[in-house]
Amino acid sequence: MVCNRYHVHDLGVIITYNYVVPYCTAAFGMSAALAAIMGYAANGFHFVGCAIGGQIADRKGLSTMMLADVILMIVGVAGILYTPRSMKFMWMLIISIALLCMFMYSAQALHYAVLEEGEYPVEIMGAVTFIISPLGYSAESIMPLYNGWCLNHFSGLEGYEMIFKTFIGMLCIAIVAILIFRKLTKERRTEMAEMRKKGEEAN
């Protein structure tokens, strides 16, 4: 269930990412076309994030990489929210969006892989996934409603700011969930680290 809490919050983040482009249009005065091009260009970092995340997770551990993913996503969201609203600082905005994109999808790639650190019996893994998936993906129906409420309830950029602050709050909850998961799986993670070390020595 700890893993599922992370799953919910990460999918909420992915849904909320869709508001980055309209925010750029409203906050920085850029055209919708330029904002869309920048948003789609940043999507190219998905592949980079997944590749980097997979390599590091293999070497340092799944939940370790997941924790790094969430922290770097917070940096990216904070960068988007607090970049000075001037075209002179566009480079900061681009770096922030790239960070968010890279590590958002790196984290998503570890959703179910991290269950390995829980040492769940293979016989119940399918059942566990069956329970996690509907609960985790429930964020896809809740977050658009919440984000729409923010935009309707708060005027101007204040609505976007509330969305992104919630974004950061969700990621902070994910950090707590990961830390709890790591505490519960300490012995298993130590065992897996020893196995990785032996494998590296054998190679």
DSSP notation for 57-89: HHHH-HHHHHHHHHHHHHHHHHHHHHS-SSGGG
What value does the mean pLDDT take over residues 14-43? 77
Whether the CB-CB separation of 14 and 104 falls below 8 Å is answered with yes
What value does the mean pLDDT take over residues 160-175? 89
What value does the mean pLDDT take over residues 95-115? 83
Ranked by mean pLDDT, which of 46-55, 126-135, 146-155 comes out on top? 146-155
Average pLDDT value over all residues in the chain: 80
pLDDT at 107: 84
Residue 14: is its pLDDT beyond 80?
no
Which long-range CB contacts under 8 A does 144-148 form with residues at least 24 apart? 144/15, 147/15, 147/16, 147/19
More confident residue, 9 or 51: 51
Q: What is the DSSP letter of 161?
A: H
Supply the pTM of this predicted model. Answer: 0.82
**Cα 73 from Cα 13, distance rounded (Å):** 9
More confident residue, 194 or 154: 154
More confident residue, 156 or 172: 172
Q: Within a 13 Å sphere around the CA of 39, how many CA atoms are in the beta-carbon half?
A: 17
CA angle 99, 103, 109 (to 5 degrees): 160
pLDDT at 39: 67
Measured N-to-C along each axis, helices 62-82 and 90-108 cross at an angle, to the nearest 10 degrees, of 150
**Cα 198 from Cα 63, distance rounded (Å):** 20
pLDDT at 152: 92
pLDDT confidence of 202, banded at 50, 70, 90? low
Question: Element (H or E) spanning 198, and its range?
Answer: helix 186-202
What domains are there in the chain, each with its CATH number? Answer: 2-202 (1.20.1250.20)
pLDDT at 182: 87
pLDDT at 26: 84
* Torsion, Cα of 40, 42, 43, 45 (10° steps): 160
